[in-house]
Amino acid sequence: MKKISVYTAASIVIANMIGTGVFTSIGFQLNAIQNTWSILSLWAIGGLLSLFGAFAYAELGTHYKESGGDYIYLSRIFHPVLGYLSAWAGLTVGFSAPVALAAMAFTHYLSPVLGLSANHQSMAVGIVLLIGLLHSFTIKHSSRLQNISTLMKIGFIFILILIGWWYAAPTANALQWNNHWQKEMVQPGFAVSMVYVAFAYTGWNAAAYVVDEIENPHMSLPRALIGSTLFVTVVYILFQYVLLKHAAVAALKGREEVTFIAFNNILGTTGGKWVSAFIAIQLIATISSYLWVGPRVTWALAQENKLWRPVATKNKNGIPVAAVWLHVVIAIVLLLTGSFEKVLLYAGFILQLMATLTVATSLFTTPKPHPTFKSPLKPFLQIIFLLFNAWVLVFTLMDKPVESMTGIGILLAGLVLYFFDAPYKSQQKEATESQLPQ
């Protein structure tokens, strides 16, 4: 099977990270916090925590060198039930929900340009089906799609940042440089806003899920994870500043299409429509990256659990086609049945929880001799990551109980399924042991 380069691995990470969150989250954050220092701090803290997490995943990925990410690490270090739950969460929400959200945003941004209703769901379904099809052939096809779409994404967001910095701010804008941040940063709303940020940063660990498809993973994986996370952090902070600079709080607050609002103020109606069109186009890279990574986790689950065996197959080119299409179907169900903000919140809660558990596994691994990556300042950075994430999860549970309990309910459903699957696993283990020489 053809391996992917460090550049393709990095493009998977960048495309996973730069998706719907960076273009939509600030409107929801402004419901709770409005000081510019507070908002930019959110994105800086999110980037720093993602970097700490990237260190841990680079160590774990080069230690195990198996595709599957959280499923592999949690199963091998803690207990198979945690690995099972992480894969279940990834299948039902973690990887499928970002595809659904990106498809919703794709439709929301492109429909006005084409003169269609913003709720034109057939367009969202169509783009998910098309990208699922393109990921069903070879690694070469997937690499080309990912590299080209990610380059377009990077170029586009850089152009937006340059335009936003170049044009003068209107009199009425959302920039508030006062000391109110000192109060905002200790309120529950700040912690809840971190869920939106955490969702926007989701994907900093993406390359670890496909590690056995990467050339020279002991070098390429750390470079892809760490370099991409640092790059995206800088981009995110600059972009949020641009949005706040070019629109008032009242115009942005509670709105999903915040990027269109800000750039409509800069470029006028026609220019705003072009920006909307390009936002939609760059989301292709996001959908592509999640439909690449997610099925590899599901495939790893299917290898070791009989109930999932129908999706354990690969085509002659090493593509887990059945798993790809399972994710496509679930993403379509989510986009047809869920609202944007609710899906974002319960998906963000679950992803935050599973990443927290996985980073915890790195505290119990001893890196193998070279060429395994060793996380710097271990275990201090991991402990900071775990404590901060626990704080965010607790406050999210308190402030958004319905969405949080939805996420927990999804995990409980996976737990029931695991114990239903357990007898099959026991039978499989007994059959294997009976074949061993006595």
- Say how far apart CA 217 and CA 208 lie, in whole Å: 9
Question: Which H/E stretch holds residue 76?
Answer: helix 70-77
> What pLDDT was estimated at residue 192?
78
pLDDT in tens, 329-370: 999 998 888 766 677 677 778 877 888 899 998 888 765 665
Q: CA of 261: how far to CAs of 67, 172, 234, 276, 345, in Å? A: 40, 13, 22, 10, 23
Q: Burial letters for 74-87: b for 16+ Cβ neighbours within 10 Å, e otherwise?
A: bbbbeebebbbbbb
> What pLDDT was estimated at residue 368?
63
Q: CA of 403: how far to CAs of 90, 105, 341, in Å? A: 17, 20, 10
What mean pLDDT do residues 262-270 have? 90
Residue 398 half-sphere exposure, CB side, CA atoms within 13 Å? 12
Cα end-to-end span (Å), the chain: 37
Mean pLDDT of the chain: 86
Q: CA of 13: how far to CAs of 58, 168, 223, 259, 274, in Å? A: 13, 33, 11, 22, 26
What mean pLDDT do residues 162-167 have? 94
Give the model's confidence band at 423: pLDDT under 50 very low, under 70 low, under 90 confident, else very high: low
pLDDT for 55 beyond 90: yes
What mean pLDDT do residues 175-198 have? 84
- 3-class secondary-structure state, position 126: helix
The residue with tokens 């999903």 is 256
Domain boundaries, the chain: 6-422
DSSP label at 66? -
> What pLDDT was estimated at residue 437?
44
Residue 88 half-sphere exposure, CB side, CA atoms within 13 Å? 22
> What pLDDT was estimated at residue 65?
82
| Nearest to 217, CA basis, from 326, 225, 201 | 225
- Say how far apart CA 403 and CA 231 lie, in whole Å: 31
> What pLDDT was estimated at residue 49?
93
DSSP conformation letters of 359-424: HHHGGG--PPSTTS---TTTTHHHHHHHHHHHHHHHHHHHH-HHHHHHHHHHHHHHHHHHHHHHHH
| Nearest to 25, CA basis, from 254, 367, 245 | 254
Close Cβ partners of 230 (under 8 Å, ≥ 6 residues apart): 47, 51
- Say how far apart CA 235 and CA 6 lie, in whole Å: 20
What mean pLDDT do residues 270-298 have? 89
The residue with tokens 């049945």 is 337
> What pLDDT was estimated at residue 163?
95
- CATH code for the domain defined by 6-422: 1.20.1740.10
- Say how far apart CA 84 and CA 337 lie, in whole Å: 25
Question: Which H/E stretch holds residue 98?
Answer: helix 96-114
> What pLDDT was estimated at residue 431?
46
> What pLDDT was estimated at residue 273?
84
- Say how far apart CA 11 and CA 363 lie, in whole Å: 28
Structure-derived torsion over alpha carbons of residues 139, 329, 130, 196, reported in degrees to the nearest 10 = -90
